[in-house]
């Protein structure tokens, strides 16, 4: 009996970045969402990983790797490494709370659109949004001084 072949890799090939090499700074947003009173299975790693992946794929992001950790006694963290940066979902089921951080370095992929999709699956009663703006490229003039 011969050993079976290893399963094919599940990571997607990384497309070239649309802004690579042109020297111009790109303004992008990172958004962090505090989701309170979620009406979904916050302790189900399969559900949560699928929900986050469906959300990032809805803006055509490319998943290159994923890590899912189920904590004991409860809680889940899902990390998706994207060709465009990353998305992270962490839950505290005992509080009905989820924290989601989405950073996409392609301005044509707004984190708010990813959240809009994910929100339909987490079903929070209340959300607080934290917005961080980044310039990717040469240091801004104020920072260079």
The 10s digit of each residue's pLDDT in 2-46 is 333 333 344 555 455 555 556 677 778 899 999 999 999 999 999
Identify the CATH number of the domain in which residue 34 sits: 3.60.90.10
Structural domain for 51, as ranges: 27-139
pTM (predicted TM-score): 0.80
The 10s digit of each residue's pLDDT in 37-89 is 999 999 999 999 999 999 999 999 999 999 999 999 999 999 999 999 999 99
Give residue for tokens 């790797």.
Answer: 65
Q: Do residues 106 and 85 lie in contact, with contact meaning Cβ atoms separated by under 8 Å?
A: no
C-alpha distances in angstroms, 134 versus 22, 25, 73, 140?
Answer: 17, 10, 36, 10
What is the domain count for the chain? 1
Q: Tell me, yes or no, whether 97 lies in a domain.
A: yes
Q: Tell me, yes or no, whether 42 lies in a domain.
A: yes
Q: Tell me, yes or no, whether 14 lies in a domain.
A: no
The 10s digit of each residue's pLDDT in 113-122 is 999 999 999 9
């Amino acid at each position: 009996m011969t050993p079976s072949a290893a399963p094919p890799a599940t990571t997607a090939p990384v497309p070239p970045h649309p802004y690579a090499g042109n020297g111009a700074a790109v303004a992008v947003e990172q958004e962090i969402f505090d989701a309170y009173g979620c009406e979904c299975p916050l302790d189900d790693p399969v559900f949560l990983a699928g929900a986050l992946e469906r959300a990032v794929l809805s803006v055509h992001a490319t998943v290159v790797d994923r890590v899912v950790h189920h904590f004991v006694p409860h809680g889940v963290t899902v990390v998706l490494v994207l060709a465009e940066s990353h998305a992270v979902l962490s839950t505290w089921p005992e509080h009905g709370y989820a924290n989601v951080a989405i950073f996409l370095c392609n301005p044509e992929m707004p984190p708010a659109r990813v959240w809009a999709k994910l929100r339909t699956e987490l079903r929070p009663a209340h959300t607080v949004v934290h917005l961080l703006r980044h310039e990717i490229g040469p240091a801004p003039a104020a920072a260079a001084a």
